[in-house]
Amino acid sequence: MKIGDLADETGVSPRMLRYYEEQGLLTSHRVGGGHRRYADDAAVVVGHIRALLAAGLSTSVIREMLPCVEGPGPELQHCAAPTLREQLHGLENKISTLEDARSALTRILATTTPVGGRPTAV
């Protein structure tokens, strides 16, 4: 499959497909004139990449997990579980940090005195 055909089928730009390839997420082989050709299942692989990116995973984590991905879903084999748990834990920590920052900012805003002299209501 040519890169333009893969882009049309997946809705992912050729530039992004080349980026996926640079990151080791997608493979192609070169034919005459140096043109890229992708395997017949490349659209499924791109779908997996997009789903994992939408879940907030980085390309380096996705590269590590792709051997554990199968089916059009994507469905993940058990080998993905430790990495997914680690990513979820990191995300929960970030959410907690953001909630703490929001609370602190709300408290600071509540004590901010406007030009009129009384604290601002939140």
Domains annotated for the chain, with CATH where assigned, are 1-76 (1.10.1660.10), 78-122 (no CATH)
Dump pLDDT digits (tens) for 74-98: 788 888 899 999 999 999 999 999 9
- Each residue of 46-83: pLDDT tens digit? 999 999 999 999 999 999 999 898 877 778 888 889 99
Closest CA to 47 of 72, 80, 83, 14: 72
Which pLDDT score, from 0 to 100, does residue 122 have? 60
Residue 2, SS3? strand
Judge whether residue 37 has pLDDT over 90: yes
Report the SS3 class of residue 73: coil
The mean predicted confidence, pLDDT, of the chain is 90
Residue closest to 57 by CA, chosen among 86, 33, 29: 86
pLDDT > 70? residue 108: yes
Confidence band for 31, pLDDT divided at 50, 70 and 90: confident
42 vs 116, higher pLDDT: 42
pLDDT of amino acid 7: 97
| DSSP-assigned beta bridge partners for residue 69 | 76
pLDDT at 116 over 70: no
CB 109 within 8 A of CB 120: yes
The helix (H) or strand (E) run that includes residue 75 is: strand 75-76
Q: Spell out where 1-122 has E strands.
A: 29-31, 35-37, 69-70, 75-76
